[in-house]
Amino acid sequence: MSSSPEQGSYGPDSRGATRSPKSGRKTWFVVLVVLLVLGGLGWYIFGHTVPDPQAQAPGGGHGRMPTTDIPVLASTAREGDIGVYVAALGTVTPVYTVTVTARVQGEIMQVFYREGQMVHKGDPLLEIDTRPYQAALTQAEGQLAHDQAVLTEARIDLTRYKAAYDRNAIAKQQLDDQEQVVLQDEGTVKNDEGTVANAKVNLVYCHIASPIDGRVGLRLVDPGNIVQANSTTALVVVTQLAPITVIFNVAEDYLGEIQSELRQGRTLEVDVFDRAVEKKLAAGKLLTVDNQIDTTTGTVKLRAIFDNKDSALFPNQFVNAKLLVSTLHNVALVPTPAVQRNAQGAYVFVIAQDMTAALRTVKEGTSDGSQTAVDGVKPGEMVATDGFDKLQDGVKVRIRGAAKAESAAAPSAAPPASAGKSSGKEAAHR
């Protein structure tokens, strides 16, 4: 029996399997879906890994070039003076600290001071029972009076013996013996005078007075306590507060420059700040340099002195000291926030007259915290002080508060003033 062409096209294949039109269409559909998935995955990976041709510029820009002007704050570089400082951690150290102890034994009768009181030299602090020492003084004075009378009697006898010897009434030996009696009595009187003086001193020691001007600490003993003579137990501590000093360490590398300034007779100024270096506590001057370098740290100790009339410095307080070693004159000064840093070094964004930002590499000099001396910027040029997360080399900028910036830049035409926390003062001492 012969088959029709349609039966032949849908009949068994060479392997004996029967094919249907639906199975063929399904196979092509699956292939098409797989190709679409692979293509989409490749587009996703390729689109997220190819670098953006307008990616971050090497000068500090971030992202594509902005299409609008970037608002920034700006300041004008000026010519002026700035101090070269050496910063160090210091400790407030009193010029005098006296630990008062008892020099005689006895009962404490009175305490005259209040805790934390400011006292002057000679003000009474404590009193020890004086009665035993007053009795000893009376006894010593009585013995002295007795021995002085004996001496007077011996001298009278010596005068008589001399007259008798002149008349050949007595032997020379008797006269010589009387002369020695007078010398012995004189020695006894002198010993008695020492005993009286010692008794008077002990009586003075019973009245303890402040040896210096200063501030007393907390009360260490109360009335009724018995103190021992020459004991190491402190009765009261008096600390001088004005003037006061600060001791701080600087690296030995600065020693040569510091000594050179001192040899020329210059007074080096020292400012001290609190631990956060935010508040200035006092201004003083360098007093002296230690006589040796600490070999374990490679530093040398310096002592500065301060009037401390307002008691801003307290003994053993930790402070930050800034020693003004020298002053740089006629240098370009920019605000410290304008100086940025990258792997290549320090740079600033200079704003041109067409209001475009230009990245410029600079050499950073000394800084006083608010201003920094730079080499690479001319006085009168305007530099950006913020907006660095968006700034790029060549972008357009818009200065926020332009009127204020112009008014702030106006004084730059005047004679340059010294920079720093005590600008005029720092330049004046040069």
pLDDT in tens, 99-132: 999 999 999 999 999 999 999 999 999 999 999 9
Confidence of residue 26 (pLDDT cuts 50, 70, 90): low
DSSP secondary-structure letter at 181? H
Q: Is the pLDDT of residue 88 over 90?
A: yes
Over residues 205-218, the pLDDT tens digits come to: 999 999 999 999 99
Comparing 84 with 200, which gets the higher pLDDT? 200
| Closest among 84, 92, 83, 85 to 304, alpha carbons compared | 92
- The CATH number of the structural domain formed by 104-127+209-239 is 2.40.50.100
Comparing 322 with 405, which gets the higher pLDDT? 322
pTM: 0.64
Domain span(s) for CATH 2.40.50.100 in the chain: 104-127+209-239
Domain span(s) for CATH 2.40.30.170 in the chain: 86-95+241-327
Q: What is the pLDDT of residue 67?
A: 60
Distance CA 285, CA 368 (A): 18
Write the CB contacts of 10 (distance below 8 Å, at least 6 apart in sequence).
18, 19, 20, 21
Are 330 and 324 contacting, i.e. CB atoms less than 8 angstroms apart?
A: no
Reduced to 3 states (helix: H, G, I; strand: E, B; else coil), residue 12 is strand
Residue 90's beta-bridge partner residues?
A: 248, 319
When the candidates are 2.40.420.20, 2.130.10.30, 1.10.645.10, 2.60.40.10, the CATH number that belongs to 70-83+329-428 is 2.40.420.20
The count of other CB atoms within 10 Å of the CB of residue 178 is 20
- The CATH number of the structural domain formed by 86-95+241-327 is 2.40.30.170
Domain span(s) for CATH 2.40.420.20 in the chain: 70-83+329-428
| Closest among 313, 404, 331 to 81, alpha carbons compared | 331
Confidence of residue 21 (pLDDT cuts 50, 70, 90): low
Reduced to 3 states (helix: H, G, I; strand: E, B; else coil), residue 404 is helix
Work out whether the CA dihedral 393, 330, 428, 367 comes out positive or negative.
positive
Q: What is the pLDDT of residue 2?
A: 42
Q: What is the pLDDT of residue 405?
A: 41
Average pLDDT over residues 145-151: 96
Q: Is the pLDDT of residue 69 over 90?
A: no
Q: Is the pLDDT of residue 414 over 60?
A: no
Class at the top of the CATH hierarchy for domain 130-205: mainly alpha
Domain span(s) for CATH 1.10.287 in the chain: 130-205
